[in-house]
């Protein structure tokens, strides 16, 4: 008769993990297994009588067997088949659940569980997912809900909102969503024009620079809301380097490749504001170099458009806008040439350890030389400053300083008609 053997602990083994079956205990495999009411170790391959309760010990990993209890015996009798027609044999009962089989079963169980966890995590993600556009609208609404009067308790939350917007608005489409959702009018304009907190103004101007940079549609909207005049006012009135720097960033983002804005803003207060930064004794040289770089880039931009128009008729309409930009008269009349000459002549000693700033000034001098050559070529103080910086970097072992030295040497040759400068 075939009597089913109850494996009560196999499921637990599969759930807990892979168990290595140990046969380190010395058991005589050829000896007859004599079952008792107590659990006894069964050697691997050792034959055992039918009708026993068999298990795997979870602590030792060994197979054990004992006699059935009364309740288990009655259950076994009910499950017996009518005869031995199944062709049962007296083959030894071997341990079928080897380590690799158990490991594979456990792996499948864990895999099924991980799939379920992933499905749940994905559903949670879908609930909390927001597109960039939705996030931008949410951030604008969040800012609208702040109190109208400045509260110190809200400052950190406002700065966090502006920081998130700055990150999102570098993308052109996101910037347009921000503008269409009222972000310029409800968030940035009130801060730039009226807010008394310098940190908020700095953050707002960084956001403004992020959305206007290389984004013609955004530039137009920013220009229409008169941000150019507001930024120029900050450049003229502020003494904070961080505020001036962020205003320069936003100012440049608005003006570059936008000839209408250049003409309207720089012909009025814009040029005066930029030269004022150069004249200020409270602004660091690094920030002044940004002013020179912006003006230099705008001069080059106009120059390139004029050159391109000679080769292509498609540039005629663009050329008409750039012709109205009169850098040749605006910059000298507002004191650009003598102001920059004075800055370098007086403060060049502070530049001897700032080669990257020297490079910015050098490029600016090179690109605007045609506007100021009569003054600069006759300035002994400027000549002395340029040659001193050139010689300092020429004796350096640093490759970058050597490159800056060579750029200064080319500038000196151009300014001073290739005369000898070996006296230094």
In a domain, 346, yes or no: no
Q: What is the pLDDT, as a whole number, of residue 110?
A: 64
Are 234 and 291 contained in the same domain? Answer: yes
Are 70 and 112 contained in the same domain? Answer: yes
In a domain, 325, yes or no: no
Is pLDDT of 93 > 80?
A: no
In a domain, 333, yes or no: no
Residue 46 phi, psi dihedral angles, 5° rounding: -75, 135
Q: What is the pLDDT, as a whole number, of residue 74?
A: 57
**Of the residues 274, 299, 320, the one at which a domain ends:** 320
Element (H, E) at 41: strand 40-41
| Range with the largest mean pLDDT of 32-41, 121-130, 378-387 | 378-387
Q: What is the pLDDT, as a whole number, of residue 403?
A: 98
Q: What is the pLDDT, as a whole number, of residue 52?
A: 83
In a domain, 356, yes or no: no
Q: Band of the pLDDT at 18, cuts 50, 70, 90?
A: very low
Q: How far lies 387's CA from each of 116, 193, 350, in Å?
A: 72, 44, 15
Are 3 and 30 contained in the same domain? Answer: yes
In a domain, 30, yes or no: yes
Number of domains present in the structure of the chain: 3
Mean pLDDT calculated for residue range 336-349? 97
Q: Which of 57-71, 201-215, 238-252, 381-395 has the lowest mean pLDDT?
A: 57-71
In a domain, 340, yes or no: no
Are 70 and 147 contained in the same domain? Answer: no
Are 105 and 242 contained in the same domain? Answer: no
The boundaries of the domain holding residue 251 are 133-320
Are 33 and 175 contained in the same domain? Answer: no
Alpha-carbon distance of 384 to 396, in angstroms, equals 19
Q: What is the pLDDT, as a whole number, of residue 46?
A: 82
Are 112 and 8 contained in the same domain? Answer: yes
Are 144 and 172 contained in the same domain? Answer: yes
Residue 284's Cβ-count burial label (10 Å; 0-12, 13-18, 19+) is: middle
Is pLDDT of 277 > 90?
A: yes
Assign residue 178 the CATH number of its domain.
1.25.10.10
**Of the residues 97, 129, 161, the one at which a domain ends:** 129
Is pLDDT of 401 > 90?
A: yes
In a domain, 288, yes or no: yes
Are 122 and 137 contained in the same domain? Answer: no
Mean pLDDT calculated for residue range 193-204? 96
Alpha-carbon distance of 318 to 260, in angstroms, equals 10
Alpha-carbon distance of 144 to 154, in angstroms, equals 12
Q: Band of the pLDDT at 162, cuts 50, 70, 90?
A: very high
- Of residues 90 and 157, more confidence is placed in 157
Mean pLDDT calculated for residue range 76-101? 49
Q: Band of the pLDDT at 183, cuts 50, 70, 90?
A: very high
SS3 label, residue 391: helix
In a domain, 154, yes or no: yes
Q: How far lies 313's CA from each of 142, 316, 317, in Å?
A: 49, 6, 9
Q: How far lies 48's CA from each of 20, 91, 264, 268, in Å?
A: 22, 9, 102, 105
Alpha-carbon distance of 188 to 230, in angstroms, equals 11
Are 110 and 8 contained in the same domain? Answer: yes
Alpha-carbon distance of 202 to 200, in angstroms, equals 5
Q: Band of the pLDDT at 91, cuts 50, 70, 90?
A: very low
Is pLDDT of 1 > 60?
A: no
Q: What is the pLDDT, as a whole number, of residue 406?
A: 97
Are 144 and 51 contained in the same domain? Answer: no
Q: Which of 27-41, 98-112, 216-230, 370-384 has the lowest mean pLDDT?
A: 98-112
Are 180 and 244 contained in the same domain? Answer: yes
Q: Which residue is associated with the tokens 């080669």?
A: 355
Following CA atoms 300, 306, 310, 312 in sequence, which dihedral angle do they give, to the nearest 10 degrees? 90
Is pLDDT of 300 > 80?
A: yes
């Amino acid at each position: 008769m075939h009597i089913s053997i109850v494996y009560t602990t196999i499921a637990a083994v599969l759930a807990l993990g892979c168990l290595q079956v140990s046969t380190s205990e010395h058991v005589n495999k050829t000896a007859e297994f004599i079952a008792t009411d107590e659990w006894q170790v069964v050697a691997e391959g050792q034959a055992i009588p039918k009708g026993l309760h068999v298990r795997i010990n979870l602590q030792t990993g060994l197979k054990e067997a004992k006699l059935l209890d009364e309740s288990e015996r009655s259950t076994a009798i009910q499950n017996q088949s009518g005869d031995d027609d199944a062709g049962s044999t007296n083959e030894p009962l071997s341990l079928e659940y080897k380590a690799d089989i158990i490991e594979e079963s456990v792996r499948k169980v864990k895999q099924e569980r991980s799939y379920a966890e992933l499905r749940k995590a994905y559903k949670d993600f879908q609930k909390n997912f927001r597109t960039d556009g939705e996030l931008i609208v949410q951030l604008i609404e969040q800012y609208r809900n702040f109190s109208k009067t400045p509260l110190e308790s809200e400052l950190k939350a406002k700065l966090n909102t502006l920081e998130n917007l700055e990150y999102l608005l570098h993308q052109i489409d996101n910037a347009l969503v921000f503008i269409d959702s009222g972000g310029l009018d409800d968030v940035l304009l009130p801060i730039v024009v009226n807010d008394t907190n310098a940190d908020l103004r700095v953050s707002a101007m960084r956001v403004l620079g992020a959305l206007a940079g290389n984004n013609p549609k955004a530039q137009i909207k920013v220009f229409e809301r008169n941000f150019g005049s507001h930024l120029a006012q900050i450049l003229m009135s502020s003494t904070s380097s961080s505020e001036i720097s962020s205003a320069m960033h936003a100012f440049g983002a608005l003006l570059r490749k936008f000839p209408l804005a250049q003409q309207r803003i720089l012909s009025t207060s814009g040029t005066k504001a930029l030269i004022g930064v150069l004249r200020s004794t409270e602004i660091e040289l690094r920030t002044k170099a940004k002013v020179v770089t912006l003006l230099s880039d705008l001069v080059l931009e106009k120059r390139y458009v004029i050159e391109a128009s000679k080769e292509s008729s498609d540039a005629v309409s663009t050329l008409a806008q750039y012709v109205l930009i009169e850098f040749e008269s605006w910059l000298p009349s507002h004191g650009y040439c003598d102001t920059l000459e004075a800055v370098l002549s007086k403060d060049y000693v502070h530049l001897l350890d700032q080669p990257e700033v020297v490079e910015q000034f050098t490029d600016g001098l090179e690109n605007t030389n045609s506007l100021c050559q009569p003054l600069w070529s006759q300035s002994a103080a400027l000549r002395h400053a340029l040659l001193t910086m050139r010689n300092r970097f020429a004796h350096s072992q640093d490759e970058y300083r050597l490159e800056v030295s060579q750029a200064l040497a080319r500038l000196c040759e151009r300014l001073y008609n290739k005369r000898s400068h070996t006296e230094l």
